């Protein structure tokens, strides 16, 4: 389509003069632009180099493998705004600013290619005629998109003022600078059109054309003077912006993008998502320190996180500890670690002997408090919602490792539970030999693997279902469902050890190694291939951390460990049983049921559909969602070893979540985790909610199943 026919003008005349009113294509301004560009990009390189030197003080970590996957992650989370658009208002606002600026960058790049390459060297001008008209329209439209984003940003930050935004002067400066660039861009365009006597084809710059009428009363010399000054303000503002994309608030444009590129790729797959790094056992013989007690003990990527944080507060808005008045804010953790980095690292870099550097402020105590690191439930809501892929939980757990392994410091209740795990292989303190006693107590016909190894599934019962009477009912229901479906199930009985998840996430890596070694050797001795669990914590650690440990650990015989099994959560198996028609659900429940997503089943393993499918398959069930569900689900409060630590600060997390369930109108809460079942049952009792009971999905299925 040739748009030039609308104006009866040659295509060559439908264009604009390069460096209009500022010296033309051969004037001083071209060299001024080159100089400013050199200064801006030089400053970017300098600031990034300075930050890289700081980050490199941290420990080494491989984050450069699989570049193709990393590029795809940048496309997903940076260019497609993968997580940002999850929130309607903030998502639209940020997308408008981002895509508007991307569009303006492309528009500017095209004119730069023409002015500084094709026209300069080959006398070829391609922005003329139809291409020029479309280019002009695109420039104005992208500018309007940025203005929409700016208006939304100013309104949100200075009118709505959400608590998660801690507005600083640099935030105001960044928004004002962007507004200045856009406003002066439109103004120079309008002045150029007015000076040129309103060419008809310039209507394709609709904003500039309309603004030009505001200056129609001015004389041409006055217009030229104002245009000249405005052009300089616009250019200087643009290059200040470019120069600052590696610094402070504007730095997230570049540093956050780098952070996404260097993210933990394991978090992109449910099979490995949020898996904790494990310490190589050989380090216990050689390392002088474990965990993180000083900022330089973090890895370089963990230090980069601090600079990449945009302070958007999405992590904080989804943190169960923060929302129940605990001292923990994931955003604050990141910024406090950055403050510690900026305080200590320059001293380390300047010292001849970094090991001799002493200072008055300690990472744990002065920057991050102990209450903060122990308040974390490891629910990973912070990591799930962070738009730039920061890794909060591993950073907190590294500080826990230091407190336990180096100082032996922890909450008293946790110390008792860890001691029980060490002596009796369960946190409750019951005798390990009694681990299989629940089978006889429940009247089940199920044998240990030692008695009969020929089974379809080995049921890894876990500590809760082995010793807690309420959760023994869940284990019983599951076994009966599996047997009704025709599966032969066995257990390990006294040979089953604690999975060690709580020890690992509390920071007692040494104890975790001992427990994992025992279980892996048992699995290997019996040739176990298929494991089913009712506990998402056991499911997750057997699926993710055990394989990691098996690659570096050695058995009691000095031989390498093996991890040759598949592990299933009981909701996966039960849903499969229902789909295949291996059992019939006959008795109606006739209740309104909601489902609580366990953090370690949902966010960690992305098992969302099977539990809901089970509930909907039960006759007479009315399924309702809580306001926070799926990836936005709220923690029960028991993860990250918090099951064994009493809550002394703020509102109890389990009560907060129980109120979510009550608000849904449900009369029953479906759970798929022994910790969640306990916490939500306690929540209803503590709040004296009479018509709200919690059940595991296996119980609901067994009660409905044709016997």
pLDDT of residue 286: 87
Window from 31-45, 184-198, 600-614 with minimum mean pLDDT = 31-45
- Asked if the domains 281-406 and 583-704 are classified in one and the same CATH topology, the answer is no
SS3 category, 352: coil
0.95 exceeded by pTM: no
Show Cβ contacts of residue 383 under 8 Å, excluding neighbours closer than 6 positions: 267, 274, 315, 389, 390, 391, 392, 393
Percent of the chain at pLDDT > 70 equals: 100
Mean pLDDT across 366-374: 96
pLDDT of residue 116: 87
| Per-residue confidence band for 645, with pLDDT thresholds at 50, 70 and 90 | very high
Res. 2: pLDDT tops 90: no
Residue 394, beta-bridge partner list: none
Show Cβ contacts of residue 176 under 8 Å, excluding neighbours closer than 6 positions: none
Q: Share the mean pLDDT of the chain.
A: 95
Q: How far apart are CA 28 and CA 19, in angstroms?
A: 10
pLDDT of residue 3: 87
| Per-residue confidence band for 225, with pLDDT thresholds at 50, 70 and 90 | very high
pLDDT of residue 424: 96
Mean pLDDT across 119-132: 91
Q: Is 707 exposed, middle or buried (0-12, 13-18, 19+ CB in 10 A)?
A: exposed
Long-range pairs of 626-631 with CB within 8 A, sequence gap ≥ 24: 626/594, 626/595, 626/596, 626/660, 626/661, 626/663, 626/664, 627/660, 627/663, 627/664, 628/660, 629/595, 629/597, 630/597, 630/602, 631/384, 631/602, 631/603
Mutual angle of helices 697-704 and 469-484, in 10-degree steps: 50
The C-alpha angle with vertex 657 and arms to 652 and 662, in degrees rounded to 5, equals: 125
Residue 491, beta-bridge partner list: 448
pLDDT of residue 707: 82
pLDDT of residue 599: 98
Mean pLDDT across 278-287: 90
pLDDT of residue 422: 96
Show Cβ contacts of residue 463 under 8 Å, excluding neighbours closer than 6 positions: 426, 427, 428, 498, 499
Could you give the strand order of the β-sheet that contains 457-460, starting from the edge strand earlier in sequence?
A: 447-448, 489-491, 457-460, 530-533, 566-569
Res. 25: pLDDT tops 80: no
Both tokens assigned to 50:
């300075």
| Per-residue confidence band for 481, with pLDDT thresholds at 50, 70 and 90 | very high
Q: How far apart are CA 272 and CA 292, in angstroms?
A: 23
Both tokens assigned to 284:
């216990």
Three-state SS letters, 543-609: HHHHHHHHHHCECCCCCECCCCCEEEEHHHHHHHHHHHCCCCECCCCCEEEEECCCCCCCCCCCCCH
pLDDT of residue 121: 86
pLDDT of residue 651: 96
pLDDT of residue 150: 97
pLDDT of residue 38: 95
Mean pLDDT across 678-705: 96
Res. 381: pLDDT tops 90: yes
Res. 98: pLDDT tops 90: yes
CATH-assigned architecture of domain 281-406: Orthogonal Bundle (1.10)
Res. 77: pLDDT tops 80: yes
Show Cβ contacts of residue 51 under 8 Å, excluding neighbours closer than 6 positions: 246, 255, 304, 307
Residue with tokens 């366990």: 598
Q: Where are the domains of the chain?
A: 84-167, 281-406, 429-575, 583-704
Mean pLDDT across 489-496: 97
Q: What's the topology of domain 583-704?
A: Rossmann fold (3.40.50)
The C-alpha angle with vertex 512 and arms to 506 and 515, in degrees rounded to 5, equals: 140
What would the pLDDT profile of 520-565 be if each residue is shown by its tens digit? 999 999 999 999 999 999 999 999 999 999 999 999 888 999 999 9
Q: How far apart are CA 6 and CA 353, in angstroms?
A: 75
What would the pLDDT profile of 588-612 be if each residue is shown by its tens digit? 999 999 999 999 999 999 999 999 9
What would the pLDDT profile of 138-190 be if each residue is shown by its tens digit? 999 999 999 999 999 999 999 999 989 988 999 999 999 999 999 999 999 99
pLDDT of residue 30: 82
């Amino acid at each position: 389509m040739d748009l030039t026919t609308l104006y009866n003008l040659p295509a060559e005349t439908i264009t604009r003069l390069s460096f209009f009113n500022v010296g033309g294509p051969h004037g001083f301004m071209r060299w001024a632009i080159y100089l400013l560009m050199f200064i801006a990009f030089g400053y970017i390189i300098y600031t990034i180099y300075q930050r890289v030197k700081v980050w490199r003080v941290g420990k080494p970590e491989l984050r450069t493998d699989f570049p193709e996957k990393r590029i795809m992650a940048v496309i997903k989370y940076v260019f497609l705004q993968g997580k940002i658009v999850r929130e309607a208002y903030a998502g639209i606002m940020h997308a408008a600013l981002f895509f508007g600026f991307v569009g303006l960058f492309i528009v500017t790049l095209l004119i730069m290619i023409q002015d500084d390459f094709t026209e300069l060297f080959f006398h070829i001008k391609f922005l003329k005629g139809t291409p020029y008209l479309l280019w002009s329209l695109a420039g104005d439209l992208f500018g309007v998109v940025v203005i929409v984003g700016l208006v939304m940003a100013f309104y949100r930050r200075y009118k709505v003022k959400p608590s998660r935004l801690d507005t600083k002067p640099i935030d105001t400066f960044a928004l004002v600078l962007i507004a200045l660039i856009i406003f002066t861009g439109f103004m120079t365009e309008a002045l150029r059109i007015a000076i040129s006597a309103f060419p008809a084809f310039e209507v394709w710059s609709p904003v500039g054309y309309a603004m030009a009428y505001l200056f129609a009363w001015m004389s041409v010399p006055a217009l030229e003077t104002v245009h000249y000054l405005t052009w300089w303000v616009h250019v200087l503002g643009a290059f200040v912006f470019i120069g600052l994309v590696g610094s402070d608030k504007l730095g997230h444009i570049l540093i956050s993008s780098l952070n996404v590129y260097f993210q933990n790729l394991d978090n992109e797959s449910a099979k490995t998502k949020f898996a904790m790094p494990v310490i190589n056992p050989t380090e216990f013989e050689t390392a002088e320190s474990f965990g993180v007690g000083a900022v330089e003990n973090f890895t370089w990527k963990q230090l980069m996180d601090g600079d990449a944080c945009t302070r958007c507060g999405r992590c904080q808005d989804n943190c169960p500890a923060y929302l129940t008045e605990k001292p923990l804010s994931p955003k604050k953790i990141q910024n406090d670690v950055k403050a510690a980095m900026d305080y200590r690292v320059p001293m380390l870099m300047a010292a001849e002997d970094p090991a001799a550097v002493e200072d008055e402020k300690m990472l744990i105590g002065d920057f991050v408090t102990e209450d903060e690191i122990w308040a974390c439930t490891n629910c990973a809501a912070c990591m799930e919602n962070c738009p730039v892929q920061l890794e909060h939980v591993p950073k907190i757990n590294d500080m826990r490792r230091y407190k336990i392994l180096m100082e032996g410091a922890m909450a008293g209740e946790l110390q008792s539970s860890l001691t029980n795990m060490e002596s009796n292989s369960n946190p409750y303190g019951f005798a390990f030999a009694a681990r299989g006693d629940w089978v006889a107590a429940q009247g089940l016909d199920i044998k240990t693997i030692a008695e009969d190894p020929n089974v379809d599934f080995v049921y890894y019962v876990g500590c809760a279902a082995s010793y807690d009477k309420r959760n023994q009912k869940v284990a019983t229901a599951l076994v009966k469902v599996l047997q009704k479906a025709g599966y032969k199930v066995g257990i390990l009985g006294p040979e089953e050890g604690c999975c060690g998840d709580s020890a690992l996430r509390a920071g007692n890596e040494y104890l975790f190694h001992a427990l994992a070694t025992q279980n892996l050797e048992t699995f290997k001795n019996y040739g176990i291939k298929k494991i089913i669990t009712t506990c998402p914590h056991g499911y997750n650690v057997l699926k993710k951390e055990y394989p990691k440990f098996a690659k570096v650990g050695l058995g009691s015989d000095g031989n390498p460990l093996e991890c040759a099994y598949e592990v299933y959560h009981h909701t996966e198996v039960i849903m499969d049983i229902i789909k295949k028609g291996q059992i019939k659900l006959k008795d109606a429940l006739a209740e309104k049921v909601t489902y609580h997503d366990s953090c370690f089943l949902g966010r960690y393993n992305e098992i969302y559909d099977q539990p809901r499918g089970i509930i909907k398959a039960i006759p007479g069930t009315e399924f309702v969602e809580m306001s926070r569900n799926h990836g936005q689900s709220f923690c029960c409060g028991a993860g990250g070893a918090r099951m064994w630590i009493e809550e002394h600060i703020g509102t109890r997390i389990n009560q907060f979540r129980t109120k979510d369930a009550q608000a849904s109108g449900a009369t029953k809460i479906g759970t798929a985790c022994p910790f969640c079942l306990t916490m939500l049952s306690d929540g209803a009792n503590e709040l004296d909610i009479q018509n709200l009971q919690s059940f595991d999905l296996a119980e609901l299925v067994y009660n409905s199943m044709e016997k």
